[in-house]
Amino acid sequence: MILQTSQTLQQLSDFLGCQFVGDPNHLITGINEIHQVVPGDLVFVDFEKYYKKALDSAATTILIDKEVECPEGKGLLISTQPFNDFNRLTRHFRPDCRNTGAQNNTSIDPSSWIAPTASIGDFVQIGKNCVIHPGAVIQAHTIIGNNVIIGPNSVIGHYAFYYKKRPEGFDRMHSCGRTVIEDDVEIGALCTIDKGVSCDTLIGKGTKIDNQVHIGHDTIIGEHCLFAAHVGVAGCVTIKNRVTCWGQVGIASDVVIEDGVVILAQSGVNKDLAAGKSYFGSPAADARLKFREMAAIKKLPEILENM
């Protein structure tokens, strides 16, 4: 999330009521979670084993639960509850907008058709020649390009599935990111695409998505991809261009799938996949190898019988 007005380390320290380490005039220009940080961003960390990852990341301000050595050019905010204070900041700078029907700061090109029973939230942009079918819900801070089709009862821009476990239950991370649907995308019926936690969930130009597909928060999908029904993609996945996922493929978080990959039906992906290959199985591997393994397994009873 980019801040409309940059903040200083001193200003955020005063707002949160916590101590800081660094130059009081050190600037914060954005707020992001660890997978999406860029220079100028603030990130939080509340487990010691992740301190190094946060301190070495592109983020230049770290909201942390213990005072540590501050890297040169960075600033620290020392908080007893970094997760809670991160939520305080994101709620302050981008409050939770609801589908009130008022459509505040929403822009819809006159050439687009919106079904009367579709719901359009605040701060939504819809480009030219789009079709939004009955029952679709386009939640706040969604950007839709030109020539986009959203199928019946699909939900675009719902909360990220991101929680912190507490002894008494789970606390939800406030989702302050956006959902961006580029030109010529088609999304089928009953699909769900979550907004970013603090950045963008992106569906690239020309991608076609079948019915009942789920895309998790902060996932980046490239151009001209094809997803069959019941594909499930976790948060923070990067899928590059012209990737095909056939029915019931499942993809774990923080995975990168390179250009031109084909993932065959009912495969489970838990690691990065190299470009231009076909994959099958769970965990997914080179499809030719998997088929050879299956053929070999079929021969096992005969081999054991002859032993």
Written as six digits, the tokens of 143 are 């950007």
Whole-Å CA distances, 16 to 11, 44, 104, 301: 9, 13, 29, 67
Beta strand extents in 55-140 (DSSP E only): 61-64, 75-78, 107-108, 113-114, 119-120, 125-126, 131-132, 137-138
Give the span between the Cα atoms of 296 and 225, in whole angstroms: 33
**What percent helix, strand, coil does the chain show, rounded to 5?**
15, 30, 50
With contact defined as beta carbons under 8 Å apart, do 237 and 249 qualify? no
Paired tokens of 35: 């997978």
Give yes or no for a contact between 105 and 122, defined as CB atoms under 8 angstroms apart. Answer: yes
Q: Which residues are catalytic?
A: 217
Q: How far apart are CA 30 and CA 81, in angstroms?
A: 20
* Local structure of 283: helix, strand or coil: coil
* Pairing state between β 27-31 and 2-8: antiparallel
Q: What are the backbone angles phi and psi of residue 19, rounded to the nearest 5°? A: -80, 160
Residues 60 and 75: beta-carbon distance below 8 Å? yes
Of the candidates 54, 47, 44, the one whose C-alpha atom is nearest the C-alpha of residue 18 is 44
Tokens 């009942």, residue located: 212
Joined tokens for residue 96: 């939770």
Distance CA 45, CA 66 (A): 10
Helix (H, G, I), strand (E, B) or coil at 19: strand
